[in-house]
Structure 1
């Protein structure tokens, strides 16, 4: 074996070692990328969880801070409970075989997390009513906070007590998210569906719900 052959073999072996090192580095970089992506996903999930918790805390504070008379509270409660009953009823109509397993709205909310069929029906029902999950969070928070002391008023009784519930909501409810959700609840009951308006048109939202005339 001459020197040129020996040199060529040594060069090939060196190239193989370099190639192996490059492959090892590539594997390490892929592992680092995977770790980075995994950490980013965890961070985003944690950030969303914190934001969600902050929003829930803010909503709870807003609901508890409402300064309403017993009559005003009962009127708003009546719309809230009627919307929740309406949603529950519509879900059961679409899932007749699950009626016994979904006795309340709470059971629907709890089971939809892991049951895709229930989740799809719930989401379609919200869409039909012009509502979103944020509205349900607000309405359920209101119900939990005031349900133990509020009384349900029928539509006829509500009309006797107040002419314009929209005026009541826009003037007494300062939290924008809670205000919007309550206005949409009124729309669902009065008109059959909530109409989501652009931000700049919110000031005229009460025009969508006719006042009760004397």
Structure 2
């Protein structure tokens, strides 16, 4: 074997080793890219979760700090409770086979998180009423905060006390998400979009949401 042949073989072996190392590095870089993408997705999800929690905390704070008089609070509460009843009633109308297993709106909210069919029906109901999840979240927060002392006023009684509830809400509720939810509740009821008379609702008012623990 000549010197040139030996050198050529050594060079080929060296190139093969380099090629193997490059392939190994390429595999490692791909794995690093996948790891980076996974970490990025986790970070984005965590950031969204924190932002959502912060927004919800702000709604709770705003609901607790409302400066309504007792009468004003009861009037706003009446709109909120009627819309929540409408949502629950409409869900039962669309899911007659689940009437017994969905006795309250709280049970609907729990079930939709686990059941795709219930979730799709829920989304269609929200669309019917022109509501979004954040609106329902704001209304439920208001109900939990004030439901233990709220009193339902009939429509004719509400009109006797306050002529423009939307104007009152806009001026007194500073948190945008809570304000939007309350305004939507007023609009839905005033436009007659409720599914049925809330006084004949299937579920008692106090059972729409779980009790608040001190």
TM-score range, shorter chain: 0.7 to 0.9
Does structure 1 residue 147 correspond to structure 2 residue 147? Answer: yes
CA distance in 1 between partners of 2:57 and 2:176 (Å): 14
CA distance in 2 between partners of 1:88 and 1:5 (Å): 86
Q: TM-score, normalised by structure 2?
A: 0.85
CA distance in 1 between partners of 2:93 and 2:6 (Å): 84
Q: What residue in structure 2 maps to residue 38 of structure 1? A: 38
CA deviations over 1:83-105 (Å, ceiling 9, x no partner): 11111111121111122221111
How far did 1:67 drift?
1.2
Comparing both chains, which one has the higher relative contact order based on Cα–Cα distances under 8 Å and sequence gaps of 6 or more?
2
Does structure 1 residue 183 correspond to structure 2 residue 183? Answer: yes
Q: What residue in structure 1 maps to residue 174 of structure 2? A: 174
Segment of structure 1 superposing worse, 53-62 or 183-192:
183-192
Gaps of 5+ in 1: 194-214
Q: TM-score, normalised by structure 1?
A: 0.85
Gaps of 5+ in 2: 194-214
How far did 1:148 drift?
0.2
Q: What residue in structure 2 maps to residue 102 of structure 1? A: 102
Q: How many residues align?
A: 194
How far did 1:178 drift?
1.3
CA distance in 2 between partners of 1:176 and 1:48 (Å): 18
Whether contact under 8 Å (1:129, 1:192) holds in the other structure is no
CA deviations over 1:40-83 (Å, ceiling 9, x no partner): 11111111111111111110111111111111111101110111
